[in-house]
Amino acid sequence: MNDEPATTAKSTRHSRADVVDAALGILDEFGLPDLTMRRLAAKLDVQPSALYWHFDNKQALLAAVADRIIAGARVRDVAEAAGDGLGTRASERASWHVTTRAEALALRDALLAYRDSAEVVSSTLALGLGAGEAHCRLAAAIASGGFDVQASEASASALLHYLLGHVWHEQQRLQADSLGVVAPGYAVHPESASDVLATGGGASPVDGTAAFEFGLTLLLGGLSQLTRVRS
């Protein structure tokens, strides 16, 4: 209906950062399918061809977008993310699994801040273009637990794959629900029954965060069984 974008600097010429800003705006307002070069150009009051001065192609643009998304993962006080009911300060030395968990949760939060972010980041990650920082942070957190570099990096990869797979699923479900696209045989299973959050006991993974943490616990549990190189 309204063709006029919310905020646009009309007069000045643009930089790479401006283009990424506009792209992020389209991304979480309309989603990845609507993030086309032509729409992006229109939002910037520019011809589509102008974008190719800033970026070689759409893929390069998306890589820059992905970098900005995961750059938004700042670990808000680890203590806050950790102390959630258990025996407060049980372990003295910084326990690696707490920081790893916090790192993973922060990463997920950063992804959830933008629509279809998991798909954008995944597409980019395999090319080594962006999101390498996320892998590094996870690997460092794990390595602080005394695992050797090889195991730490492999574990970080596994964690990242799980994380992206999970968030992607969440985000796709979100937009599928909003479009009213439900499967015929699937009917209404507990997760899609919107505000009926109290299905069973209460601690079971009915919402996305709890489900994510369940898998996270599985991975960290398996990791803790590995032999350490130093205590």
Q: Footprint of DNA on this chain (CB under 7 A)?
A: 13-15, 34, 36-39, 44-50, 52-54, 56-59
Tell me whether residue 52 or residue 162 sits nearer to a second copy (CB atom): 162
Nearer Cβ to DNA (119/170): 119
Least separation, in Å, of the C-beta of 19 and a second copy?
A: 20
Nearest distance, CB of residue 227 and a second copy, angstroms: 12
* Neighbouring C-beta atoms of residue 197, cutoff 10 Å: 10
Q: Which is nearer to DNA, 10 or 230 (CB)?
A: 10
Which parts of 163-202 interact with a second copy (CB under 8 A)? 163-166, 168-169, 172-173, 176, 181-183, 185-186, 200
Is 122 a binding residue for a second copy by CB under 8 A? The answer is yes
Q: Distances from the Cα of 126 to the Cαs of 121, 161, 200, in angstroms? A: 9, 11, 39
Contact between 214 and a second copy by CB under 8 A: the answer reads yes
Task: Determine contact, residues 207/198, Cβ cutoff 8 Å.
Answer: no
CB count in 10 Å sphere of residue 7: 8
Please give the single-letter amino acid code of residue 160.
L
| 57 contact, one of a second copy, DNA, none, CB 5-8 Å limit per kind | DNA
- Binding flag, residue 129, a second copy (CB under 8 A): yes
Q: Are 187 and 149 in contact (CB under 8 A)?
A: no
Residue given tokens 């916090």 in the structure block: 102
- Percent helix, strand, coil in the chain, to 5, is 60, 0, 40
Which of a second copy, DNA, none binds 36 (CB below 5-8 Å, type-dependent)?
Answer: DNA
Closest CA to 70 of 158, 9, 160: 160
Nearer to a second copy, 46 or 216 (CB): 216
Cβ at position 191, least distance to DNA in Å:
26
> 43-48: long-range contacts at Cβ-Cβ below 8 A with a sequence spacing of 24 or more?
43/5, 43/8, 44/8, 44/14, 44/18, 44/19, 45/8, 45/10, 46/14
Q: Determine which residue in the list 38, 76, 161, 228 makes contact with a second copy, applying CB under 8 A.
A: 161
Q: Which does 38 bind (CB under 5 to 8 A by kind): a second copy, DNA, none?
A: DNA
d(Cα 55, Cα 61) in Å, to the nearest integer?
6
Rule CB under 8 A: which residues touch a second copy?
122-123, 125-129, 132, 150, 154-155, 157-158, 160-166, 168-169, 172-173, 176, 181-183, 185-186, 200, 204-205, 211, 214-215, 217-223, 225
